[in-house]
Amino acid sequence: MRRRSKKIYLGKIAVGGDSPITVQSMTNTKTADVSATIKQINKLTKLGCEIIRVAVPDLETAVKLVEIKRKIKIPLIADIHFDYKLALEAIRQGVDGLRLNPGNIGQVEKIKEIVLNAKDAGIPIRIGVNSGSIERSLLNKYGGPTAEGMVESALKHIHILEANNFDDIVISLKSTDIMMTITAYELMAEKVDYPFHVGITEAGTLWSGTIKSAVGLGSLLSRGYGDTIRVSLTGDPVEEVRVGWQILKSLGIRKKGVEIISCPTCGRTEIDLISLAEKVEKLFSDLDKDITIAVMGCAVNGPGEAKEADIGIAGGRGEGLIFKKGKVLKKVPEDKLISELEEEIKKI
C-alpha cells in the first residue's frame, strides 16, 4: 500500500497524497543556453516528463530562468547549491520549486530570506541528501555513509525549514546502494509525512543503470515509497523518462501509451522474432494509445499465451497471424505482418 503523504504542488502538478506518481528528469544542457535547454525540456515533455529540474550554477544562469519558464509546459525546478542569492533570483524568475539543502546555505538570516520568499511565491523546497553528500560529522558518527546518516542529515535540513514555519517540503534520500536507499526511506517514513522524491543516484550507464534503477525504484515503489521518481542515467535524459515510465507501467502504477510484450522465443519459433519485436517496439512504443501489443514466436501457443493483449502478431513459417484478445483475426504473409498490424492498431 502506498505510504500516506502530504500533498504539495509544483505549479499545477501535485506531488504526494493521492496524486499520481510522476516522472521527472533533469536537463544536461548548459542551463544558460536557453534555446538548447528549452528544446530539451520540450522533447522530454513530449515523452512524458512531468517535472523538470535544471542546474543553476551562477547568477548569469539564474536570470535566464524566466525565459525558459515561459517556453515550457511543465513545472521548472531550480537546483541550487550553497548560494542563497541564486535561490532568491530563481524565485524572482518564477520557478515552481527549489532543490536546496538549507543547512548548506549557512547564515540563519539568509535561510530566513529564502524561506520567506518561497512562502510568498508558494513554491516547495526539496531537500535532497545523497550518501555522497553527508556531512563529515555524521560520517564520523556512523563510520561512513549509512542510511541513518542520510536520515539524520535530512532531518537537520527539515528542522531548519520547520523552525521557519515552512512545511512545503519534498524529501529525497539517494544512494547508489539500493539497500541503503530503501532503509533510508523506511526510516524517514517513520519520522515525517512529507512526499518522497525517489531514485537511485549514479545508477550507471543506459544498460546497467536501467537495471539498477528498475530494481531500486521497483523495490521502493512496491513497498509504497515514492510520490515522484527520477531515474539517473549517464546518458540522454530522454532515456531517463522512458525508463521511468516503463518502471511505473511495469508495476501497473500508471498507464501511458503502448505496452509491448513479446515471448522469449524457443525451439518452436519459426520467424526472426528478435528483429520483428524490435521493429514493433521502434514503430509503436511512442504511440499515444493505452494498448498492449504482443509479438509472439509461434502460431500454436502465441495467441493463447498473449490473450490479455489488445492486439498481437504470431509468426509462423513464411506467414503469421494477427490476433485480438487471443482470437485470431487473419493469416498474413510474413512481409505483411507489420503493415497489417498497423492497420488493425489504427482501428482500436
**Residue 284 to residue 133: CA distance in whole angstroms:** 41
CB of 309 to ligand SF4, least distance (A): 12
Does 263 help bind ligand SF4 (rule: CB under 6 A)? yes
The C-alpha cell that represents 74 in the structure block: 511543465
Does 297 help bind ligand SF4 (rule: CB under 6 A)? yes
Among 265, 319, 325, 329, binds ligand SF4 (CB under 6 A): 265
**Residue 244 to residue 215: CA distance in whole angstroms:** 12
One symbol per residue from 60 to 99: x for binding ligand SF4 (CB under 6 A), - otherwise; what is it?
Answer: ----------------------------------------
Measured torsion, CA atoms of residues 265, 267, 270, 272, in degrees rounded to the nearest 10: 40
Q: Do 125 and 166 form a contact (C-beta atoms < 8 A)?
A: yes
Q: Could you tell me the maximum CA-CA distance found in the chain, to the nearest angstrom?
A: 75
Among 71, 73, 268, 289, binds ligand SF4 (CB under 6 A): 268
Q: Which range touches ligand SF4 (CB under 6 A), out of 124-132, 188-196, 240-248, 266-274?
A: 266-274
Q: Which range touches ligand SF4 (CB under 6 A), out of 69-77, 121-129, 166-174, 293-301?
A: 293-301
The residue at minimum Cβ distance from ligand SF4 is 297
**Residue 111 to residue 163: CA distance in whole angstroms:** 11
Does 264 help bind ligand SF4 (rule: CB under 6 A)? yes
Q: Which range touches ligand SF4 (CB under 6 A), out of 84-92, 158-166, 294-302, 318-326?
A: 294-302
Among 48, 124, 302, 312, binds ligand SF4 (CB under 6 A): 302
Q: Do 127 and 170 form a contact (C-beta atoms < 8 A)?
A: yes
| Helix (H), strand (E) at residue 330 | strand 327-333
CB of 300 to ligand SF4, least distance (A): 6
CB of 319 to ligand SF4, least distance (A): 15
The C-alpha cell that represents 206 in the structure block: 543506459
DSSP string, 125-175: EEEEEEGGG--HHHHHHHTSS-HHHHHHHHHHHHHHHHHTT---EEEEEE-
Side chain identity, residue 130: N
Tell me whether residue 143 or residue 264 sits nearer to ligand SF4 (CB atom).
264
Among 192, 241, 296, 322, binds ligand SF4 (CB under 6 A): 296
**Residue 285 to residue 264: CA distance in whole angstroms:** 19
**Residue 57 to residue 78: CA distance in whole angstroms:** 10
One symbol per residue from 305 to 344: x for binding ligand SF4 (CB under 6 A), - otherwise; what is it?
Answer: x---------------------------------------
Tell me whether residue 86 or residue 296 sits nearer to ligand SF4 (CB atom).
296
**Residue 112 to residue 124: CA distance in whole angstroms:** 14
Q: Per CB under 6 A, which of residues 104..143 are in contact with ligand SF4?
A: none
Query: CB-based contacts of 248: which residues, under 8 Å, 6+ apart?
Result: 21, 23, 221, 229, 254, 256
Does 269 help bind ligand SF4 (rule: CB under 6 A)? yes
Q: Which range touches ligand SF4 (CB under 6 A), out of 8-16, 171-179, 237-245, 257-265?
A: 257-265
Among 298, 311, 322, 341, binds ligand SF4 (CB under 6 A): 298
Does 295 help bind ligand SF4 (rule: CB under 6 A)? no
**Residue 25 to residue 322: CA distance in whole angstroms:** 37
Q: Which range touches ligand SF4 (CB under 6 A), out of 9-17, 27-35, 123-131, 259-267?
A: 259-267
Binding residues for ligand SF4 (CB under 6 A): 263-266, 268-269, 296-298, 301-302, 305
